[in-house]
Amino acid sequence: MFIRQLNYLVALSREKHFGRAAVACHVSQPALSNAIRSIESELGIAIVNRGHRFEGFTDDGERVLSWARRVLKDCEGLRQAAHSPLESPSGTLRMGIIPSSVPLAPRLTQDCLRRHPHIRHELRTTSATDILHLLGHFDLDVGLTYLDDERLRDFSTVPVFTERYVLAASSPAAFEGARSISWSDVARLPLCLFGPGMLCRQGIDQAFAKTGYEVAARVESDSMTSLCAHVHGAGLYSVLPHSVLCLPILAMPLATIPIVPEMRRTVGLVVPARPHYGRVLQAALDSFAKVDLQRYVDSLHNEDGIRSVAALDRG
């Protein structure tokens, strides 16, 4: 069994089509099909359900596929170790980030880029569910997501910061001098919110439900920037993590006020639970651990004060 055969198998799982998988691997379709049949013959099991077209993997095939992904990940780590000195790791770090934490990603990557100039960063903004799926399939190296997720049992986690949720408006004048606002009062406002399939939104809906309200948002989006743009340009309000104040959204003003009772959620790094990691991932994790994101995000929003994005540059 050869590494290239395992690559063919993983490509087929990704493309779900023999022809497309062959193109992705730069081989002919018969060559790819024969390579997979060779694995089946060697192991004495059926890996692929075949009809007139690809019909998925057998149960045995799913187990072989999981094994193949782990082997290929270990091979990638071996190549990193062979091609770069210990003190200067070289390679690509693939990171998945939930939309609500996008404003903080540069704080992590800039420190890692400074310490390790030969590491490239590929960032993907996606849902918490997709992050765990991609980590499980070794299509991501690390995720930045919520840690209050029961699906994290098979992953290793490192808390990074705790976010607080605030009401965002286009101007402090919208708060009429108040220093905080209740969830029941927020529920009466025209809102734009994260989409219902996102963990961020599920936590927000739970907070509203505790006050007896079920909110129907006027606008829903999976983009922090889009929500902020609607707050500024459409006269809507939004419930956002307080880290939004470090997002440079063009020159749009944005004011926030605390919502009571306060809702907090811990965000952290998530990686597959393994006895050891490749040099690139380990170097990145070590670098991320040196960044104090909690202190930074807490400096953006006082416990009793209204803050505005437009005022940040002035301190």
- Would you call 308 helix, strand, or coil by DSSP? strand
- Does the N-terminal peptide bond of residue 261 adopt cis geometry, omega within 30 degrees of 0? yes
Residue 34: which CATH number?
A: 1.10.10.10
Confidence at residue 205, expressed as pLDDT on a 0 to 100 scale: 94
The 10 Å CB-count burial string (b at 16+, else e) for 257-269 is: bbbeeebebebbb
- pLDDT of 303: 44
Q: What is the domain count for the chain?
A: 3
- Mean pLDDT across the stretch 179-195? 95
What does each C-alpha distance from 79 to 83, 85, 95 come to in angstroms? 6, 11, 19
Query: Scanning the structure block, which residue is given the tokens 């903080």?
Result: 104
pLDDT tens column, 90-122: 889 999 999 889 888 999 999 999 999 999 999
Of 81, 105, 123, the position where a domain reaches its end is 81
Same domain, 145 and 211: no
Burial of 204 (C-beta count, 10 Å sphere; 0-12/13-18/19+)? buried
Dig out the tokens for 48 from the structure.
């692929």
Residues 143, 287, single domain; the answer is yes
Quote the pLDDT of residue 248. 60
Gyration radius of the chain's alpha carbons: 23
Instruction: Express as a percent the part of the chain with pLDDT over 90.
Output: 49
Q: How far is CA 259 from CA 158, 182, 304, in A?
A: 27, 5, 11
Task: Find all residues with CB under 8 Å of 189, minimum gap 6, and list them.
Answer: 167, 237
Distance CA 84, CA 147 (A): 33
Residue 84, pLDDT > 70, answer: no
* Mean pLDDT of the region 205-222: 93
Q: What is the dihedral of CA 179, 305, 207, 228, to 10 degrees?
A: 110
Same structural domain for residues 261 and 234? yes
pLDDT value at 313 more than 50: no
- Residue 208 shares a structural domain with residue 122: no
Shared domain for 291 and 306, answered yes or no, is: no
Read off the pLDDT of residues 243-298 as tens digits, 9 standing for 90 and up: 887 766 544 568 889 999 999 999 999 998 887 888 899 999 999 999 999 988 88
Contacts of residue 72, defined as CB under 8 A and 6 or more positions apart, other chains included, come to 3, 6, 7, 10, 138
Residue 122 sits in a domain whose CATH number is 3.40.190.10
Q: How many residues does the chain have?
A: 315
More confident residue, 78 or 303: 78
305 shares a domain with 187: yes
Contact 301, 256 (CB under 8 A): yes
For residue 304, what pLDDT is reported? Answer: 41
Confidence grade of residue 301 (pLDDT, cut at 50, 70, 90): low
Predicted local confidence at residue 161, as pLDDT: 93
CA distance 31 to 139: 24
Q: Which range among 133-142, 224-233, 304-313 shows the weakest confidence by mean pLDDT?
A: 304-313
Q: What is the mean predicted confidence (pLDDT) over 31-57?
A: 88
The reply to whether 152 and 248 lie within a common domain is no
pTM over 0.85: no
Q: Is the pLDDT assigned to residue 237 strictly greater than 90?
A: yes
Q: Using a pLDDT cut of 70, give the percent of the chain over it.
A: 90
Report the C-alpha gap between 187 and 206 in whole angstroms: 12
Residue-number span of the structural domain to which 17 is assigned:
3-81
Average pLDDT (66-82) is 76
